[in-house]
């Protein structure tokens, strides 16, 4: 008498996929979307690099200016003046350096923030476009 129970190997695997509807995937559309994504990332990277180069150039300018200011200070220090005059000059110099440092710090942070914002805006814009494309693609697929 044959055993009525079926084994795992007797199962028809093709029955799993009978209700699966295969909708053809538009590879050209997908490639175009990915191309635009890569272009956006490339553009954002370029903006970020240019921004950081601007920051580096400005930092070099600030360093050169600081060296010039320091050499001027040392020239003034070797000049014979009264103690009161030296104290007044040093105090004024310290005040100027603090104000310059604060201004330079603000300027550098604004340059860096601008670079980051520009790069992020490119990526944000592309993400919104990509979501719109996905929404449009889903509408087309549901209409078919």
Q: Assess if residue 32 is contained within a domain.
A: no
pTM: 0.67
State which residues form the domain around 80: 47-143
Domain count, the chain: 1
Q: Assess if residue 53 is contained within a domain.
A: yes
pLDDT digits (tens, 9 = 90+) for 65-88: 999 988 888 888 788 888 888 888
Q: Assess if residue 39 is contained within a domain.
A: no
pLDDT digits (tens, 9 = 90+) for 110-137: 999 999 999 999 999 999 999 998 888 8
Q: Assess if residue 18 is contained within a domain.
A: no
Residue whose C-alpha is closest to residue 114's, from 42, 66, 55, 28? 55
Residue 137, C-beta contacts closer than 8 angstroms, at least 6 positions apart? 29
Q: Assess if residue 55 is contained within a domain.
A: yes
């Amino acid at each position: 008498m044959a055993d009525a129970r079926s084994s795992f190997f007797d199962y028809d695997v093709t029955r799993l996929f009978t209700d699966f509807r295969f909708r053809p995937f538009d590879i050209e559309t997908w490639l175009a979307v990915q191309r635009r994504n890569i272009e956006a990332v490339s553009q954002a990277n370029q903006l970020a690099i240019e921004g950081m180069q601007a920051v580096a150039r400005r930092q070099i300018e600030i360093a050169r200016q600081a060296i010039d200011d320091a050499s001027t200070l040392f020239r003034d220090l070797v000049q014979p003046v009264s103690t009161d005059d030296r104290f007044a000059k040093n105090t004024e110099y310290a005040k100027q350096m603090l104000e310059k440092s604060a201004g330079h710090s603000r300027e550098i942070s604004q340059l860096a923030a601008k670079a980051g914002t520009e790069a992020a805006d490119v990526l944000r814009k592309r993400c919104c476009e990509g979501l719109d494309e996905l929404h449009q693609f889903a509408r087309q697929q549901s209409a078919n």
